[in-house]
Structure 1
Amino acid sequence: MLLESRILAVADVVEAMASLRPYRAALGIESALSEIAAHRGTTFDAQVVDACLRIFHEQGYKIED
């Protein structure tokens, strides 16, 4: 699987869970990050998950409402 595809898979889950949807309330960024961490190395590429978690936790990245 291409690296770009693995990155998009993680980014899509984080954005989808953290954002408001017409059929449900936003679950929040912490829930989204917990989900990708729980599936690190199985469903999601471990290095991509680690990079995503670093961006949010260490670099303070936020998804705007």
Structure 2
Amino acid sequence: MRVIIDADVCVGAGQCVLAAPEVFDQRDEDGIVVLLMENPPADLEEDTEHAALLCPALAIRTADE
């Protein structure tokens, strides 16, 4: 799995960090998403997919590699 973020549309809600803290973080200054792992391991794929679904701005996508 590959994770793709669009920081330009991120609203800083932080749902991704709550759902998958190993994969996502937020910038201190404005709360915009920061991708920690572009290719999370299999055991984090479910949490990562859940984070993408929770994103109110649809700033997170996943793709199979």
**Per the shorter chain, which TM-score range?**
0.3 to 0.5
Which protein has the bigger helix share?
1
TM-score (norm 1): 0.37
Higher relative contact order (CA 8 A, sep 6+): 2
TM-score (norm 2): 0.37
